[in-house]
Amino acid sequence: MTKRAYNFNAGPAALPLSVLQTAAEQMTNFEGTGMSVMEMSHRSENYERLNNETQQLFKTLFGIPEGYKVLFLQGGASTQFAMIPMNLLPAGKTAAYVVHGAWGTKAFKEAKLFGDAATIASTKESGFKSVPDMKNLKLPDNAAYLHVTTNETIEGVQMTEFPDTGDVPLIADMSSDILSRPLDVSKFGLIYAGAQKNLGPSGVTVVIAKDELVDKSPEHLATMLRYDTHASNNSLYNTPPSFSVYIMNLVLRWIESEGGLAGIEKRNAEKTDLIYRAIDESDGFYIGHAEPAYRSRMNITFRLRTEEAEKAFLKAASAAGFVGLKGHRSVGGCRASTYNAVPYEACAALAQFMEDFRRQSQ
C-alpha cells in the first residue's frame, strides 16, 4: 500500500483504515451472497438485517433510551434544516435558535421560510469565537423547540454543556461531533447528523427522535418530507443509500472496538491536545480562533500572522503529505479537522510539522 495521506479534511473526512479494508474485502461478496451490498435489493433479508443491526448498534453505543426512533434518511443536515420546521413548527408557535457559527445561521435562515423563528442567543458580534451562556437562555413563551448546533466546523467552536429546556424539545445538529463523546440523549427531543464526518461516507443522514415528535408530522406535507413516513417504514420507504449504511455499520463496530464513546473521547482529547499545544506554545506565530473554553475537539481553527505566511504554511504542509488544512472559503485561515477516525499519529505528525515550520520561519 502506498503511504496514506495525513487526512484532515472537514468532510467527507477520514475513515478508519480497518473499515476501508473490510469494505474492500467484501466489495464483491457481502456475507456470502455473491453480490456487493450495492447490488442487492433493500427488501432482501440480508439488507433488512444490516439495517436493523445498524440501528441497534447506534442505540447501544449512544445509550439511546426507549421511546426514540433511529432513522436513516437522505439529503444531509441541510435538508433537516427544512424538515425540522416543516414537521415541528405549527402556526402560532416560535422556533428558537442558538447561533454560534455558520451552520446554526443557515439552520435559522431555513426555519424562517416556514414560520416564526427567533435567534435567542448569538455570538456573531464577537466573531463566533465562543458559545452563548446556556444556563440563562430566555425561551419564547410559545416556543415550539430550541435548536442548537453542538459543534461548528467552520469556526472550530464546540458546546460543552446543554440547556435544560423543560417541556420544550431540544433539537441538536450534531453532524460534526456525534459519537465523539458520551452524552445524555434523553435531554434531546431530536438529534440529527450527516454521516460524512464521524459516521461514514456521505449519502446517509441519521435522525434520532422521540416518538411523540415523529408522530407530529403534519398530514399536508409531501410524503418524503414527513418523519412518520420513514419511521413507519423502518427507513425503507424508498431505496436507501445502502452502501453508506453498510459503511456506517462498520464504523459503529470500529467505535465499539475502540472502547465505545468513553474510549473515543479520551483519544480525541489526547490527539487534539498535541495540536492546541503547538498553537499555544508558538509565541503568537499560530493564532487560535476559538476561545480556549470553547475549543472544538473536532475542528481546530487557527491563523498565521499574515496571509503570505499562511500560504507558505499550507504549501509546505501539502508537500509534506498533509491534506485538508486550508480553512473554509468563507473565513480563510487554517483548519485541522480531527474527527474520530483521524489517528493519533496524524495529529502528532501535524504538531511536529507546525513546530518545525515555525522554527524554520523565524
Q: What is the residue whose three cell numbers read 433493500?
A: 42
Set 173, 177, 210, 254: catalytic member: 173
Set 69, 103, 129, 228: catalytic member: 103
Residue 344 CB coordination number (10 Å): 14
Coarse DSSP helix, strand, coil percentages of the chain, rounded to the nearest 5 percent: 40, 20, 45
Q: What is the residue whose three cell numbers read 430550541?
A: 146
Residues whose CB is less than 8 angstroms from the CB of residue 292 and which lie 6 or more positions away in sequence, other chains included: none
Task: Give the residue from 148, 145, 169 showing the smallest Cα distance to 99.
Answer: 148
Tell me the Cα Rg of the chain: 21
Cα→Cα distances 208→18, 19, 145, 153, Å: 27, 24, 15, 21
Residues whose CB is less than 8 angstroms from the CB of residue 108 and which lie 6 or more positions away in sequence, other chains included: 97, 99, 117, 119, 147
Residue type (1 letter), 228:
D
Residues whose CB is less than 8 angstroms from the CB of residue 244 and which lie 6 or more positions away in sequence, other chains included: 195, 200, 201, 202, 203, 204
356 is catalytic: no
103 is catalytic: yes
197 is catalytic: yes
Q: Which residues of 165-196 are buried (b: 16+ CB within 10 A; e: fewer)?
A: beebbbbbbbbbbbbbbebebeebbbbbbbbb
Residue 92 CB coordination number (10 Å): 9
Residue 206 grid coordinates:
441519521
Set 197, 210, 271, 326: catalytic member: 197
Q: Are the beta carbons of 246 and 50 closer than 8 angstroms?
A: yes
Catalytic residue list: 103, 173, 197
